[in-house]
Amino acid sequence: MDDLPDIDTVLISHNHYDHLDLQTLRQLAARRRSTFIVAARGAGLLRSQKIEPFYELDWGESVTLSGFTVHGVPALHFSARGIFDRNKALWCGYAIEYSGRLVYFAGDTSFGGHFAQIRERFGSPPLALLPIGAYEPRWFMSPVHMAPKKPFEPMKFSVPRPASRSTMEPSNWQVTASTPHRDSLWLAGETIRF
């Protein structure tokens, strides 16, 4: 944690343990340099752990911070931290607007009509952070997670191609994204600027 640079804003898409790790968030909060944004009905957990300052966003709500605006947007997923709290808190993605640019962070989501709604409201983003993972078995995971090829459909991205014929693991894929300004080839772990 000490090696991390200052983190201005932490986006929490939902309350699953792999997306909302209390120990990590408490450490970030102790540094007093981060603002936390959580989906609606998720603030109680942050408050109980003294993780602050925070903002709670429902779908369609926004908060403007220093030079940028974060919008809560729909996702197809679910929430739960135990066996008795399923869907008691919301899950969401975020559209981040700054300096006339847009970044879309989908959170965990399945493929669905919400992508068209988001694109209709904000336009097609030059950068979309889309989930790939936990997609098998499809009969079980398809309502809440996209398969590797699905993330590239929502925002008119091209279909990925393996970087190596030896593996089909998504972390080894090359992704080509077309934007109005350029075509880019991004490799796993590569830093991009736009």
- pLDDT tens-digit series, residues 50-87: 999 999 999 999 999 999 999 999 987 767 677 887 76
Antiparallel, parallel or unpaired: β 35-39 and 9-12: parallel
The reply to whether 177 falls in a domain is no
Q: How far is CA 145 from CA 57, 82, 138, in A?
A: 22, 20, 9
107 is in which domain, residue-wise?
Answer: 9-158
Task: Give the separation between CA 147 and CA 55, rounded to whole angstroms.
Answer: 31
The reply to whether 174 falls in a domain is no
* 39 HSE (CA, 13 A, CB side): 28
Write the CATH number for 93: 3.60.15.10
- pLDDT tens-digit series, residues 8-37: 999 998 776 576 787 888 999 999 989 999
The reply to whether 163 falls in a domain is no
What pLDDT was estimated at residue 139?
Answer: 66
- pLDDT tens-digit series, residues 117-153: 999 999 988 888 877 777 666 665 666 667 776 555 5
The reply to whether 1 falls in a domain is no
Q: How far is CA 25 from CA 62, 78, 85, 146, in A?
A: 22, 21, 21, 26
Question: Structurally, how many domains does the chain consist of?
Answer: 1
The reply to whether 50 falls in a domain is yes
Is the distance from CB of 69 to CB of 83 less than 8 angstroms?
no
The reply to whether 167 falls in a domain is no
Is the distance from CB of 102 to CB of 69 less than 8 angstroms?
no
What pLDDT was estimated at residue 3?
Answer: 83
The reply to whether 178 falls in a domain is no
Among 92, 88, 97, 96, smallest CA distance to 107 is for 92
- Name the phi and psi angles at 27, rounded to 5: -65, -40
The reply to whether 47 falls in a domain is yes
- pLDDT tens-digit series, residues 146-173: 777 655 554 444 334 444 433 334 443 3
DSSP helix/strand/coil, 28: helix
Task: Give the separation between CA 141 and CA 136, rounded to whole angstroms.
Answer: 6
